[in-house]
Amino acid sequence: MDALMDRLSGLLGRRVVSLRRMAGGDLSVVYELALSDGARAVAKHGNGAAREGAMLRAIAATGVPAPAVLAVDDVWLVMEKLPADGALPAAWDDLAHQLNRLHAPAEEPYGWSHDHSLGSVAMPNRRAEDWPGFWAEHRLRCHIPHLDTGLGVRVGRLADRLGDHVPRSPSASLLHGDLWGGNVLVSGPRVSGLIDPACYFGDREVDAAMLTLFDHPPASFFDALALAPGWRERLPVYRLWPLLVHLRLFGPAYAAAVDADLRRLGA
């Protein structure tokens, strides 16, 4: 631990006097740091540290709360520690407000300036002008080599006719990209920060869909987002990406949910 504290001290330019392993972090190691000036910070280890730091800065640039990046190198991202004394059910209204800000239309092609990953699962982000083509190639077909044959055939069948399910050219919005309750920090009734992003530009319904995977947003949350007509029918399309990621990372516990959404889509 002394060597790690020395490394992080050098990176920060401030002495780390203690560190504590934080709960969570299924795909990475995260520590809370106590600094010599009394401040606290969070250090996250991972090969995508620099990429994640750039994504946090992109979110913050929209005016949406995200932890400030204090230091970053090839494997360590050090961020400010934000208050997290609340729970998401108290902050759905504020989260809708923040997402409306984050999702403002952008003059950008779909995708991102670089690829990313969620644990060992690659997240291709090559820029594209065709939204169904982007989603089919980079969020569905990319999984097929890693699935059993039957499931792969079903995913491929859906990808082949994705234009029947999603709009051709929705407004490009900056997406958080991995938006579930665990990545929304809450203090009182307000969102204090969005963390662990996997950003790219795409249909804003992607973030809304992922929030239905583990969480239960109230109707008022979706009303405040004012999504395009037909959004409920598109939820399974966009929810398949995180479901397939979880199936690959964590195993067959997610197989039934994948099957259910494919059935909803006729695949």
CA angle 33, 56, 131 (to 5 degrees): 150
Give the whole-angstrom CA distance, residue 82 versus residue 183: 12
Q: Which residues of 236-266 are buried (b: 16+ CB within 10 A; e: fewer)?
A: bbbbbbbbbbbbbeeeeebeebbeebbeebe
Q: Contacts by 11-20 with C-beta closer than 8 Å and gap 24+?
A: 11/71, 11/72, 11/73, 11/76, 11/78, 12/41, 12/70, 12/71, 12/78, 13/71, 14/39, 19/43
Q: 4 φ, ψ to 5°?
A: -65, -45
Q: Contacts by 4-7 with C-beta closer than 8 Å and gap 24+?
A: 7/76
Residue tagged active-site, from 178, 196, 203, 207: 178
Q: Could you confirm whether 178 is annotated as catalytic?
A: yes
- Please report, to the nearest 10 degrees, the dihedral formed by the alpha carbons of residues 262, 263, 264, 267 taken in order: 60
Going by the DSSP 8-state scheme, the letter that residue 106 receives in this structure is: -
> Is the distance from CB of 119 to CB of 27 less than 8 angstroms?
yes
Q: Which two tokens stand for residue 39?
A: 């401040």
3-state secondary structure of 134: helix
Q: Which two tokens stand for residue 122?
A: 């690659």
Paired residues of 111 in beta bridges: 201
Active site residues: 178
